[in-house]
Amino acid sequence: MINRIRDIRRQKGLTLADVAARCEPATTAQTIGRLETGMRSLSLTWMNRIAAALEVDPQQLVKAESDSPPMLVARLGAAGTEALPRPVDALIPITPSADAALLVMAVDVSAGEYRAGDQVWLRRIGPEDFARALNRDVLAPRPGGRFAFGRMIDRDDDRVALLPPGIGQRQVVIDRPVWLGIAETLVRRL
């Protein structure tokens, strides 16, 4: 688990030994070091102890630095990719990395390698980076507040061609997309 213990400790001007001594009961600097680097699992008990020692809310130890959480912007359904009337916070409470450039697409109907109930986390990129999205699954905005999702199979100066997931799908060409969301993480419930 990625945490912010080191950042908060340094902001407060404390050493590992200072934090260890402030814990109730006291612990070692080595233990605090292992917790902040992820070498030791940060349990709820440890999170509460360290938060009390740092005099912060426990949520701040794992809270993303970005003010805006990743937003759920689209759904992959039987009729293809549909935009939500308005974006909402992502439904599954994990964040692969803290970054405002992340978008989320929920999968309602299984298609290709995606199963119903999955979430696809996408990193938003600008036109200057479209070349690196070739042969990757991407979400692309379309006119009228719609989206297209699929494998980017071709890129021209002003156009990208996507092949939606699933058997027998037809290529979709999008003219001048403002951005693309490259599929970065697949979240699947167990």
Q: What is the pLDDT along the chain (190 residues), one digit of tens a residue?
A: 467 888 889 888 999 999 999 999 999 999 999 888 878 888 888 989 999 999 988 878 875 545 456 677 888 888 888 887 766 655 444 444 444 578 889 999 999 999 998 999 999 999 999 999 999 999 999 887 789 999 999 998 889 999 999 888 999 999 999 999 999 888 887 6
Say if residue 127 is in the same domain as residue 145.
Answer: yes
What pTM was computed for the model? Answer: 0.57
Out of 17, 41, 61, a domain closes at: 61
- Same domain, yes or no, for 27 and 115? no
CATH of the domain at 38: 1.10.260.40
Q: In this structure, how many other beta carbons lie within 10 angstroms of the beta carbon of residue 39? A: 10
Q: Residue 100: its pLDDT value, please?
A: 53
Rounded to the nearest 10 degrees, the angle between the axes of helix 29-37 and helix 44-54 is 110
Q: What is the pLDDT of residue 96?
A: 43
What tokens appear for 158 in the block? 């002003």
106, 143: one domain: yes
**In this structure, are 109 and 183 located in the same domain?**
yes
66 domain-assigned: no
Q: Which tokens hold the place of 106?
A: 């929920």
Instruction: Write down the pLDDT at residue 179.
Output: 93
* Domain region containing 134: 71-187
Cα–Cα distance list, 46 to 50, 75, 172 (Å): 6, 38, 50
